[in-house]
Amino acid sequence: MEDSQGPFHDHQAMIILVGIAGLGLSPISKPQVQQAHQAKRWTIGEGPLYHQSELLYVPVSLGGNRYRWFILDTGSYRSYLTKLGFAHLKASGIASRKDGETGPLDVKVAGLSLGKASFALDTTGFPTSLNSNSEGIIGLDLLQRTRLGVDVTAGNFRVWRPKGLTNVALRDWFPRKAKPLSTYLWRSRDATYTVMVKLANMYLPACVDTGCEESYLARELAPALRPSLPTRRGQATFYTGVEDIQYYRVPSIGLEGLWVPLKGSIGATNLPNTSTILGVDVLSRLRVLFDFPGKRLYYTKPKPDSYVAGKWPLNGPYMALPTGAEIWWPLNEVVRVEPGCDYEAPDGYRKVNRPDGSIDLVPPGIDIPPLQTKPRLLIAPTVGKDVGPVDRPTFVPPKAKYTVPPGWRIVRRKDGSVELHPPVVSG
C-alpha cells in the first residue's frame, strides 16, 4: 500500500523540545569503540549513551566510516539519514541511488555489526530543526534484530549479536543479584512496539518510544481520566507540526509489578496511532532491556524508595474499548458506554439505551440523565457527520473532514484521500 505522508508517517509522536540548543556532538573515534567490542569477543557492542534534552544518541558507523552520533528511536519503524549524514557518506565515496536511498550498508552500533540496511533521506528535516548535528536515526528495522540494553542514568547502552540468547543478555546487563521485572512487548500494526501500562483509572496499550521526550495520553481519552485534574497547558513539536497539550495531574504510570513516577502530570495531545506513549521521562528512571526477538521488556528500578504505588483499580463500572484500552470508573457516577465497547457494572446499576446506540450506566439513587450530559469517548472514526465502523478500515474522500480515534493508523494516498485502519489488539 503506497503512502505519501513522509518518512515519519508511522513514527509514534517523534516529539522534540522547542528551542533546544545545539548539541555540539563530536565524532567518536573508531578505535575507542572497537576496543570495547573486541573485549566481548565480537558478541556485544557497548558504548556511551548521550542524553541531551530528553533525546538519546548512540555511536553508529555506516559502510566502514567513522563513528558518528545517531538518535536512538524505538518509535520509528525504520532508520533514516539527515542531510548532514548523506553529505558525509557522499564525501566518503558512497552515493545514493536514484530513489534517494543508499544501497545496503554494513551498520555497526558501538562496534557490533547488525547486518546490512539501506537508509532513506529524512525529507522532513526534522532532526535538523532541533539544531542537532546528528547524522540520522536508528530505528526498529535495525534494532528489532537484536536485544538492546539502555541505562540513561549510567549513560551507557549495549547491543547483543543477532540470534543471541535472552538469558545471556539478562546475565550481562543486570547486576548479579537483581531480579528484573518484565512485561509483554508486541509489535503493533504500524510496526512499533507496545506494552500495556496503568495510568490513573486506565489500562492502556503504550508505544515504547526512546525518540519521545515525554510520555503522553491520547487527547480523546482525557475525558475519562479519574480524577480529572487539569493543570497547565503547553505545546510541543511533533513530526506533524506543533501540537497543543493539556496536562493532567497524574503522579505515576504503572508497568507490570512497578509504578514509575511521572513529573507530576501527563500531557494529553493528538496521537493518531496509539493510545499512549511511554517516553524517555519514564524509561530514564529504569535500567531497561528491550528483548525484541523474545517479545519482552525487562526493567529494574535504581532507586526503590522514590517509587510510589498508584491506586488501582476503582470499584465502579468497567469498560473495554476496541483499541484494547480498559477503563474503570468510580462508584456513583453515570458512565457513557459507546457502541462496540464491552462493559460490566456493579449490582444496582440501571442500563439506559440511547438513540445513538450508546448506553448510560446509572447508579442507584440517580435520575436518568439527559442525552448530552456525558462527554463522548471517540472510539470510531467520523467522516463529516457519519460514524464509521469500529472494526474495519474507513475510507475518507479527498478534502473531507474526519476524526481519528487513538490507536488508529492513518494512510494517506497520493490522490488526497485517506484510509483509517483500526489497531491490532494483542491476544
Residue 151 lies in a domain: yes
What was the pLDDT predicted at 83?
A: 83
Res. 126: pLDDT tops 60: no
Task: Note whether 410 and 418 are within 8 A (CB).
Answer: yes
pLDDT at 45 over 60: yes
In a domain, 139, yes or no: yes
Is 368 in the same domain as 245?
no
Q: How many whole angstroms from its chain centre is CA 194?
A: 7
Per-residue pLDDT at 426: 44
Least confident among 96-100, 248-252, 383-387? 96-100
How far apart, in whole angstroms, are the C-alpha atoms of residue 216 and residue 13? 9
| pLDDT recorded at residue 313 | 67
Handedness of CA 253, 409, 237, 400 (dihedral sign): negative
Do 421 and 393 touch, CB atoms closer than 8 A?
yes
pLDDT band at 419 (very low <50, low <70, confident <90, very high): confident
- Among residues 306, 325, 350, which one ends one of the domains? 306
Question: In terms of domains, do 207 and 334 share one?
Answer: no
Considering the domain architecture, whether residues 188 and 293 belong to the same structural domain is answered as yes
Give the pLDDT score at 292. Answer: 94
pLDDT for the residue numbered 38: 46
Asked if residue 161 and residue 57 are part of one domain, the reply reads: yes
Q: Burial letters for 29-63: b for 16+ Cβ neighbours within 10 Å, e otherwise?
A: ebeebbebbeebeeebbbbbbbebebbbbbbbbbb
Which residues, 6+ apart, have CB-to-CB distance to 182 below 8 Å? 256, 296, 297, 298, 299
Most confident region among 67-76, 296-305, 307-316 by mean pLDDT: 67-76
**Residue 195 domain flag:** yes
Residues 37 and 170 in one domain: yes
Q: What is the CATH number of the domain that holds 196?
A: 2.40.70.10
Task: Categorize the per-residue pLDDT at 33 as very low, low, confident or very high, splitting at 50, 70 and 90.
Answer: low
Where does a domain end: 156, 180, 204? 180
Distances in Å between the Cα of 179 and the Cα atoms of 89, 154, 299 are 43, 19, 9
Residue 227: cis peptide before it, omega within 30 degrees of 0: yes
Q: How far is CA 396 from the centre of its chain?
A: 26
The H-or-E segment that residue 235 falls in is strand 230-238
The boundaries of the domain holding residue 247 are: 184-306
Q: Is residue 284 part of a domain?
A: yes
Q: How far apart are CA 26 and CA 128, in angstroms?
A: 16
pLDDT of residue 290: 97
pLDDT score, position 277:
93
Helix (H, G, I), strand (E, B) or coil at 259: strand
Quick one: cell of 357?
Answer: 446506540
- 117 vs 14: CA distance, rounded Å: 22
Flag whether pLDDT at 306 surpasses 80: no
Q: Which residue, 257, 276, 306, sits at the end of a domain?
A: 306
Q: What are the distances in angstroms from CA 203 to CA 29, 136, 312?
A: 45, 34, 10
Q: How far is CA 231 from CA 181, 215, 248, 289, in A?
A: 32, 16, 5, 33
Q: How many domains does the chain have?
A: 4
Cell 508486541 found at: 186
Better-predicted residue by pLDDT, 279 or 372 = 279
Higher pLDDT, 58 or 1: 58
Question: Whole-number mean pLDDT of the chain?
Answer: 80
Residue percentage of the chain with pLDDT more than 90:
30
Lowest mean pLDDT among 117-131, 161-175, 261-275, 286-300: 117-131
35 and 73 belong to one structural domain: yes
80-105 pLDDT, tens digit per residue, is 888 888 888 888 887 667 666 788 88
Q: Do 242 and 291 lie in a common domain?
A: yes
pLDDT average, residue stretch 193-218: 93
Q: Work out the angle at residue 346's Cα, subtended by the Cα atoms of residues 340 and 349, and round it to the nearest 5 degrees.
A: 80
Instruction: Write down the pLDDT at residue 246.
Output: 93
Q: How far apart are CA 269 and CA 261, in angstroms?
A: 20
Query: 32 pLDDT band (50/70/90 cuts)?
Result: low
- What pLDDT is stored for residue 13 in this prediction? 35
Rounded Cα distance between 4 and 120, Å, is: 14
Cα separation, 220 vs 54, in Å, equals: 25
Q: In what order do the strands lie in the sheet with 386-387?
A: 386-387, 382-383, 402-403
Are both 158 and 75 inside the same structural domain? Answer: yes
Residue 49 lies in a domain: yes
What is the Cα–Cα distance from 117 to 113, expressed in whole angstroms? 11
Residue pair 258/182 in contact (Cβ under 8 Å)? The answer is no
Instruction: Tell me: pLDDT of 194 over 90.
Output: yes
Are 277 and 220 found together in one domain? Answer: yes
Write the CB contacts of 171 (distance below 8 Å, at least 6 apart in sequence).
none
Q: How far is CA 382 from CA 3, 59, 336, 389, 404, in A?
A: 21, 44, 18, 9, 7
Is residue 11 situated within a structural domain? Answer: no
Task: Please check the confidence at residue 41 and state whether its pLDDT lies above 70.
Answer: no
Report the distance separating Cα 146 and Cα 166, nearest Å.
10
Residue 42's pLDDT is: 46
Higher pLDDT, 214 or 403: 214
Is 5 inside any structural domain? no
Same domain, 267 and 223: yes
d(CA 66, CA 127): 20
Together in a domain, 50 and 142: yes
Structural domain contains residue 6 = no
Indicate if the pLDDT at residue 398 is higher than 60: yes
Q: Do 373 and 401 share a domain, yes or no?
A: no
Q: Residue range 351-376: average pLDDT?
A: 75
